[in-house]
Amino acid sequence: MPTYPNALQHPIFKTVSKAASNINTESYVIGGYVRDYILDRGEAKDIDIVAVGSGIELAKEVSKLLPGKPKVSIFKTYGTAMLKTGGIELEFVGARKESYSEESRNPAVEDGTLQDDQNRRDFTINALALSLNDKNFGELLDPFNGIEDLDKKIIKTPLNPDVTYSDDPLRMLRAIRFATQLDFFIEKESLQSITKNAKRIKIISKERIIDEINKILLADKPSKGFALLHKTGLLPFIFPELVALEGIDEKEGQRHKDNFWHTLEVVDNIAKTTDNLWLRWAALLHDIGKAPTKKFDKKIGWTFHAHEFVGSKMVYKLFKRMKMPLNDKMKFVQKMVLMSSRPIVLATDVTDSAVRRLIFDAGDYVEDLMTLCEADITTKNPKKFKKYHNNFQKVRDKIQEVEERDHIRNFQPPISGEEIMNTFGLKPSREIGIIKDAIKEAILEGEIPNEYEAARNFMLQKGKNLNLTPVE
């Protein structure tokens, strides 16, 4: 068997080895750490340890041997334990056999051998184990030729894929996620099995699903994952809103683009420029309002009126259904979807007042909005591509110029409601709102500068128009 002693250079492995020897048990590193070491994917911070015996007892013994005796978190239901040391998270589990029922992804568990534990792993590339035992320290245990699959860039299951995926349908998403992250292929039999078992994804909690979707979205080329979700028939169970975007209708010789495949291009484009997960979500959902708003107009062809507004409302429903955060992260995605066409409209006529309004409405997110709009350029015509990018550069330059001069971002009106009340001796009333709005509009339109004196003079004039008299 090949050995990989260099993979176990970190002192923690010697500590685990000694702890296992102290309690007379065998221990192995298994899963992601081994896979990523062989693929040379950088230093892993999560390490899975299997004990042929009690994983909890091994964790306690390891803690005793470490400086400061780090706290051991025990999860009795799963028979696992966890501890953190020197920026590394170690998870301990006893080798086990699993058996599943139809209705649940939570298995009945019993103690087993290392082989049993490797059998229950999701993929051959995640069943690789390195021995931490003195007699064969660093030896690779690879019962399913996972090394060969790593070389061939293949995702396949250790056992019959129907069994693997039916037992725990989350593994279908994990297969797609690994294929996306590692740029691997899913073996044909496995792909067919995912398609066959797709509807079983319904028993998986929304939180677990979103965890995998987030990892797909954060990959270098997320479109690969979404194309696989579409190909296997998983997508309708997760995001029917995206599925609804697929297809091209033709009427009277007029066609529109396929908004589903366009969306995937936009997500890949934005992935090249930002790691911001929520901006990537905005790219994924920026056109979801197009399916319910699609209409054909004889004069102008296909229209999607107010799709941004409808789309931003749909964002809330989707986030709520998928148990995603409904806080500022959701509001950010909503804002991006709502405003996604604004810079495009601006690009043809870059006026100061339109740019001021854009900065006012987008606030701190104006840069994110521009990034999204540039990612939205998916034309294959090089001339058009260059033209659109140049137009957006003009908008960016204008934003910088206007912002430096007028300070509109996170705009605070130079005149407060309190000052309006004191000036005209008013109690809270409609007139105060009218004057405040008029000052804001005058600044955004460029009628007055964003300065106190100019705003005060404007207020006095506006008050006069409303038959208000300043109190002495």
The total domain count for the chain is 3
User: How far, in Å, CA of 432 to CA of 130, rounded?
Assistant: 73
169 and 138 within one domain: no
Per-residue pLDDT, 43? 79
State the distance between the two ends of the chain, measured CA to CA, in whole angstroms: 95
139 and 11 within one domain: yes
Three-state SS at 303: strand
pTM above 0.85, yes or no: yes
Q: Show the DSSP H helices in 157-205 as ranges.
A: 161-167, 170-182, 188-197
> Average pLDDT for residues 241-267, to the nearest whole number?
85
Tell me 139's DSSP state: B
pLDDT tens per residue, range 134-192: 999 999 999 999 999 999 999 999 999 998 998 899 999 999 999 999 999 999 999 99
147 and 16 within one domain: yes
In the predicted model, is pLDDT for residue 257 greater than 80?
no
pLDDT tens per residue, range 65-104: 999 999 999 998 778 999 999 889 999 999 887 666 666 6
In the predicted model, is pLDDT for residue 331 greater than 90?
yes
Q: Provide the phi-psi class of 97: left if phi over 0, else alpha when psi is between -120 and 50, else beta.
A: beta
Q: Among residues 471, 450, 250, which one has the least CA distance to residue 360?
A: 450
Residue 320 within a domain: no
Q: At what angle do helices 366-375 and 328-339 cross, to 10 degrees?
A: 60
17 and 142 within one domain: yes
Q: What is the DSSP string of 39-73?
A: TT----SEEEEEEES-HHHHHHHHHHHSTT-PPPE
64 and 82 within one domain: yes
Across the chain, what does the average pLDDT equal? 92
9 and 125 within one domain: yes
User: How far, in Å, CA of 247 to CA of 238, rounded?
Assistant: 19
128 and 58 within one domain: yes
CB-based burial, 418-456: b 16+ in 10 Å, e otherwise: ebbbebbebeeeebbeebbebbbebbbeeebebeeebbe
> Average pLDDT for residues 382-395, to the nearest whole number?
90
Range of the domain at 433: 417-465
Distances in Å between the alpha carbon of 371 and those of 174, 271, 275, 392, 403?
29, 10, 12, 10, 18
> Average pLDDT for residues 117-129, to the nearest whole number?
92
pLDDT tens per residue, range 397-407: 999 998 888 88
pLDDT tens per residue, range 3-29: 898 999 999 999 999 999 999 999 999
Indicate the pLDDT class of residue 253, thresholds 50, 70 and 90. low
Per-residue pLDDT, 433? 94
> What CATH number is attached to the domain comprising 129?
3.30.460.10
198 and 73 within one domain: no
> Average pLDDT for residues 328-351, to the nearest whole number?
90
133 and 19 within one domain: yes
Surface-to-core class of residue 2, CB atoms within 10 Å of its CB (0-12 exposed, 13-18 middle, 19+ buried) = exposed
Per-residue pLDDT, 105? 59
166 and 68 within one domain: no
Domain final position from 238, 254, 276: 238
Residue 6 CB partners (closer than 8 Å, separation 6+): 138
76 and 38 within one domain: yes
> What CATH number is attached to the domain comprising 196?
1.10.110.30
Residue 312 within a domain: no
* Cβ neighbours, 10 Å, residue 119: 17
Per-residue pLDDT, 45? 86
Q: Show the DSSP H helices in 340-413 as ranges.
A: 342-347, 352-362, 366-375, 382-406
Q: Among residues 279, 150, 288, 156, which one has the least CA distance to residue 218?
A: 279
pLDDT tens per residue, range 419-432: 999 999 999 999 99
Domain final position from 151, 180, 215: 151
